[in-house]
Amino acid sequence: MKHLFFVAVASCILSGTTNSVKAQTSVHEGRFSSNNQLKSSLKFIEDIELSTPLVSTVTIAEKANTGITTANKIAVVSEIGSGIEQCSPLQFKYALMMNTNVESISNLELYNFIEEWFGTRYRYGGSQKSGIDCSSFSGKLMQEVFGITLPRTAREQFRVTDKVSTEDLVEGDLVFFNTRGGISHVGVYLGNNAFVHSSSHDFVIISSLTEAYYANKFICGGRVAVEKMAEIAGNE
């Protein structure tokens, strides 16, 4: 019965998110981005009713279209388990977006930062809410959340990291891609193959390393190495 209650919660929450928005977040075929508008209706299971306060306090991103299927909703809510009662709306939202459990959404400073910038459009050379490019976004995130000051470009950021394999990536590592020749795109790893970045095709968004496009363009992960930063600074 408790499991069915969580299913009803997720169905109710996700059914109300049909507002037009900028972000694309789906776990369809390992992806976190989709252009499909979520369309669903509230279904009550075994006469379980949900109170209005519960429904209103746990909502999906105002900025995010979702292509999450019913099966994914059930799987995620099952994974969340009893923690759903203690999690914040922000944790619940990103747990669903990233197809993970709420316990992994523990760095609220990080996710508040993402929430603030989520949906900001891409602009080459940009660094403001009116438009921001990938390396400026990763630099701002690393500075404000982790207190690490990075060089400006993706290529320079690559030079101050120790290379990390996909299996060893942890929250806060950088992920680098060859999208235009060499190191030409960067994002910040979140967990469960998800990374946040300012996509040159879209805007600030969460994508997956298993998505075909990024899997083909992925070079490696990078963990900021203080000694490399000091060495480069000393040579300038």
Q: What is the pLDDT along the chain (236 residues), one digit of tens a residue?
A: 444 444 444 544 444 433 333 333 333 334 454 333 332 333 333 333 333 333 223 333 333 443 444 444 444 454 444 455 578 999 999 999 999 999 999 999 999 999 999 999 999 999 999 999 999 999 999 999 999 999 999 999 999 999 999 999 999 999 999 999 999 999 999 999 999 999 998 899 999 999 999 999 999 999 999 888 776 666 66
Structural element, H or E, at residue 90:
helix 89-98
Residue 68, CA atoms < 13 Å, CB-side half-sphere: 28
82 with 132, same domain? no
Q: What is the pLDDT of residue 86?
A: 75
At 55, phi and psi to the nearest 5?
A: -65, -40
185 is catalytic: yes
User: Do both 132 and 70 map to the same domain?
Assistant: no
Residue that terminates a domain, selected from 58, 83, 105? 105
Q: Residue 73 corresponds to which tokens in the numbers above? A: 């909703």
* 225 and 129 belong to one structural domain: yes
Q: Are residues 19 and 101 in the same domain?
A: yes
- Which of 105, 135, 156 represents a domain boundary (last residue)? 105
The values of phi and psi at residue 88, to 5°, are -85, 160
Judge if 126 and 218 occupy the same domain: yes
167 with 72, same domain: the answer is no
What CATH number did the domain enclosing 170 receive?
Answer: 3.90.1720.10
Looking at the fold, whether 131 and 57 belong to one and the same domain comes out as no
Give yes or no: residues 141 and 164 share one domain. Answer: yes
- 176 and 95 housed in the same domain: no
Give pLDDT tens digits for 158-202. 999 999 999 999 999 999 999 999 999 999 999 999 999 999 988
Catalytic residue among 3, 12, 87, 185: 185
Catalytic site includes residue 197? yes
Asked if residue 162 and residue 83 are part of one domain, the reply reads no
Domain count, the chain: 2
pLDDT at position 104: 94
Whether residues 96 and 125 share a domain: the answer is no
Q: For the chain, give the longest Cα–Cα distance.
A: 69
State the catalytic residue, choosing from 87, 134, 201, 220: 134
Q: Check 12, 87, 197, 220 and give the catalytic one.
A: 197
Do 98 and 123 belong to one domain? no
Last residue of a domain, one of 105, 123, 141: 105
The confidence score (pLDDT) of residue 176 equals 98
Q: Which domain holds residue 163?
A: 114-235
